Amino acid sequence: MVSLTVSDDGVGLPPGFNIDESKTLGLHLVKILTEDQLQGDLEVSSDDGATFNIEFDIEDNGSSGWRE
- Is position 61 within any domain? no
Question: How do residues 17-29 score in pLDDT, each as one tens digit?
Answer: 999 999 999 999 9
Rounded CA-CA distance 38/58 in Å is: 9
- Digitized pLDDT (tens) for each residue of the chain, 68 residues in all: 999 999 999 999 999 999 999 999 999 999 999 999 999 999 999 988 999 999 999 877 655 555 56
Query: Residue 65 to residues 11, 26, 40: CA-CA distances in angstroms?
Result: 33, 21, 7
- Report the run of H or E that residue 26 belongs to, with start and end: helix 25-32
* Domain coverage including residue 13: 2-56
- Is position 43 within any domain? yes
- Is position 41 within any domain? yes
Q: 21-54 burial, b if ≥16 CB within 10 A, otherwise e? A: eeeeeebeebbeebeeebebebebeeeeebbbbb
- Is position 11 within any domain? yes
Give the CATH number, domain containing residue 51. Answer: 3.30.565.10
Query: Looking at the 3D structure of the chain, how many domains does it have?
Result: 1
Instruction: Report the relative pairing of strands 2-7 and 41-45 from DSSP bridges.
Output: unpaired
Share of the chain above pLDDT 70, in %: 88
